[in-house]
Amino acid sequence: MTVVLTSRDTEVGIEAVKVLQEADLLVDFHQLDIVDPQSIKEFAEWIKVTYGGLDILVNNAGVNFDVGSENSVEHAEQRIEDVSLREQLSNDDLLTEELIDNTLKTFLQQTKDGSWTLGGWPQNSTVYSMSKLAVNCYSRYLARKLCDRPEDTGVWLALLAGQPVVNGKFFAERREIHF
């Protein structure tokens, strides 16, 4: 399997690919700016010609207006002033769906009422850092929760030949789940 890494900034993307290739990973690069229609068109044509299409897409794009080492999930975790909450979010054994939900509900409520700066949240790249923190915490929580399940639904779904693209649906145990 080949991983195709994309980046808005070609130089940054090529440097990332070099690091991954040094770890003996099969990685290719193509420039892609997800807000530029021409860039999207060029990438789509390239991926079709080069690889015949995509089997699996992992989108980890984020919009961020700040730069620097303080703009990271780790920085967000470290900058949460509530020591107990910071430790719970950092410890996979203590991480629960309820903890993640309650953390975000509190953050959002304080954002709505204008008191977020007093809530002990990161002061730099706040919204971006908190959203990435939530996604990563939930991913770690699910990884732990599902680690013993022989789940292959994602791969099964991604590799269905000749099927139309599926968007906005939830699948588990090789079937669509309706809510």
Spell out the domain ranges in the chain.
3-61+149-177, 73-146
Give the residue from 19, 17, 20, 21 showing the smallest Cα distance to 6: 17
Percent helix, strand, coil in the chain, to 5, is: 50, 10, 40
The answer to whether the CB of 28 falls within 8 A of the CB of 4 is yes
* Spatial separation of the C-alpha atoms in residues 132 and 90, rounded to whole Å: 14
Burial 43-52 (b: 16+ CB within 10 A, else e): beeebeeeee
163 CB-near residues (< 8 Å, 6+ apart): none
What H or E segment, with its residue span, contains residue 7?
strand 3-7
Match 């639904």 to its residue by tokens. Answer: 153
Segment 23-38 shows an average pLDDT of 87
Q: Which residue has the higher pLDDT, 164 or 102?
A: 102
pTM greater than 0.85 (yes/no): no
pLDDT at 165 over 60: yes
pLDDT band at residue 154 using 50, 70 and 90 as cut-offs: low
Q: Which tokens in the block code for residue 120?
A: 């002990």
pLDDT digits (tens, 9 = 90+) for 117-138: 888 887 777 777 788 788 788 8
β-pairing, 175-177 vs 170-172, is antiparallel
pLDDT at 47 over 70: yes
